[in-house]
Structure 1
Amino acid sequence: MTAPVAPVQLHQVTRHYGMGEARVNALSEVSVTFPAGSWTAVMGPSGSGKSTLLHCAAGLDRVSAGRVLLAGQDITHATDTALTRLRRRTLGFVFQDFNLIGSLTAEQNVALPLKLAGARPSRQDVRAALAHVGLQDRVRHRPRELSGGQQQRVAIARAMVTRPSVLFADEPTGALDTNSARTVLALLRRMVDGAGQTVVMVTHDPVAAASADAVVFLSDGRIADRLPRPTAAQVAERLTRLEG
């Protein structure tokens, strides 16, 4: 049986900003593959290139050198229009600050990606996504009427409703209390184990990283270490070593 194509692959990716003496290398010849149906946490000291890696992998930022493959397609030189179409079909995004629209209900926020893609949202699909994150009784609530944990669960439902093969999460538990963070991590675990989706998560939290299948550590724009089947103690120790 042929192994499934990894949905996200970076080959010798470099991303620099500025010119001449002001040039900064955010990523330097980074090669990494995020296997299908897996959850990878990306960690490293501040300024190590974590968010840049996420943005390059998702086609939100252009690489200076190297190649990026998304869902088996080389997106390195793809047009903005082609990238937008591919992202809408393939990717979901969850951020630390939720990015919900305050004037819309939970139900309307979840339906938004489908509307932006030109589809007519099915109320059944939207409500099923909210039920999946335990918010079936909050469909008509607006963000200000929800706790931080509930808002992040709406954001996850919004990312799930298009059935993306890859979910990119940037500090998804960073603004949450311990119980809410635990709920969000359990939802991400279910997406991987139950639906076979791929999760790539930037985090600074060793406990959150320990929920993943593997951790990739960055330092000064390069991959410094990898840790399969992580524990929180192992993650904290390696992160301390990199920061020290």
Structure 2
Amino acid sequence: MSAAVGTEQVAPAGSAAIELRGATRHYGPKRERVRALDNVSVVCGRGSWTAVMGPSGSGKSTLLHCAAGLEQLSSGQVHLAGKDITGASDRELTELRRRDIGFVFQNFNLVASLTAEQNVALPLKLAGVRVPTAQVREVLASVGLADRGKHRPRELSGGQQQRVAIARAMVMRPKVLFADEPTGALDSNSARQVLRLLRDMVDGAGQTIVMVTHDPAAAASADSVLFLSDGRIVDHAVAPTAREVADRLASLEG
């Protein structure tokens, strides 16, 4: 994983899962314009786990959303899963998200009336793909929930619900998983379980993960950490400890 402020960094050919070049995102009319991303260039290699941190309003969520094609850049380029998606149509982006991207959010977003198996199968059904029960059960087993497939969300703990959400994101075997505060609603024990699962996905399955978090312990589980302030990458740490992450974040917030 490489990162820089205003300077393009290029990974070896074919090794980049995500690449932003001069990414800039404005909000609001010209006279009141807010620059949420300011000429950000960053490369995330395949099979890497990158955490994104920064003070409130630093551009973390905007970076995630633009990298995932959920928001369009005002200027610059985004390459995702080997494709330039900068000017992609809504239809092309929808197809890309169904096929190549998985999302995990803080609030799980499970359908209360559906079982764990049905929640995991939902993206396949929405994509018009035949749902192989064996595949659904396999992915639930991979997150340690082989015996919870018939349970509804209200019958599961918070950590179990988040693991169902991760299984749902992974059932389409996406090339990149985007996680927005995936441990933010969990107790410390459940958070550790989810982080171990994400670590196993990177090390065992070669998954690429980009995760926004406010938790230094969660960030320290990643391979590298990007620190944002005022829409710019101002620091970058490789395999930091939770204490090092906390200290760097405190210096930005101070």
SS of residue paired to 2:146? coil
SS of residue paired to 2:14? coil
Q: Which residue of 2 aligns with 1:104?
A: 114
- State the 1:100 CA deviation: 0.5
- State the 1:4 CA deviation: 3.3
Cα distance in structure 1, aligned partners of 2:197 and 2:224? 17
Gaps of 5+ in 1: none
Correspondence 1:25 to 2:35: yes
Q: Which residue of 2 aligns with 1:187?
A: 197
Q: Which residue of 2 aligns with 1:59?
A: 69
- State the 1:117 CA deviation: 1.3
SS of residue paired to 2:16? coil
- State the 1:184 CA deviation: 0.2
SS of residue paired to 2:147? coil
Name the Cα RMSD after superposition.
0.9
- State the 1:165 CA deviation: 1.1
Q: Which residue of 1 aligns with 2:21?
A: 11
SS of residue paired to 2:120? helix
Correspondence 1:163 to 2:162: no
- State the 1:199 CA deviation: 0.4
- Does the 8 A contact of 1:106 with 1:142 survive in 2? yes
2:105 to 85, 91, 95: 95
Cα distance in structure 2, aligned partners of 1:20 and 1:38? 37
Q: Which residue of 2 aligns with 1:231?
A: 241
- Does the 8 A contact of 1:166 with 1:197 survive in 2? yes
SS of residue paired to 2:225? strand
- State the 1:20 CA deviation: 2.5
Q: Percent identity, aligned pairs only?
A: 72
SS of residue paired to 2:209? strand
1:24-55, Cα deviation, whole Å (9 max, x unpaired)? 11101011111100000000000000000000
Correspondence 1:136 to 2:136: no
Q: TM-score, normalised by structure 2?
A: 0.94
Amino acid of the residue matched to residue 72 of structure 1?
G
- Does the 8 A contact of 1:5 with 1:71 survive in 2? no
- Does the 8 A contact of 1:39 with 1:213 survive in 2? yes
Q: Which residue of 1 aligns with 2:7?
A: none
Q: Which residue of 2 aligns with 1:217?
A: 227
SS of residue paired to 2:99? helix
- State the 1:88 CA deviation: 1.1
Cα distance in structure 2, aligned partners of 1:59 and 1:5? 20
1:114 to 124, 130, 141: 124
- State the 1:3 CA deviation: 5.0
- State the 1:121 CA deviation: 0.9
Cα distance in structure 1, aligned partners of 2:13 and 2:127? 30
- Does the 8 A contact of 1:41 with 1:209 survive in 2? yes
Q: Which residue of 2 aligns with 1:76?
A: 86
Correspondence 1:150 to 2:154: no
Q: TM-score, normalised by structure 1?
A: 0.98
1:158-200, Cα deviation, whole Å (9 max, x unpaired)? 0111111110000000000011000000110011001101000
Deviant stretches of 4+, over 2 Å: 2-5
SS of residue paired to 1:163? coil
Amino acid of the residue matched to residue 241 of structure 1?
S
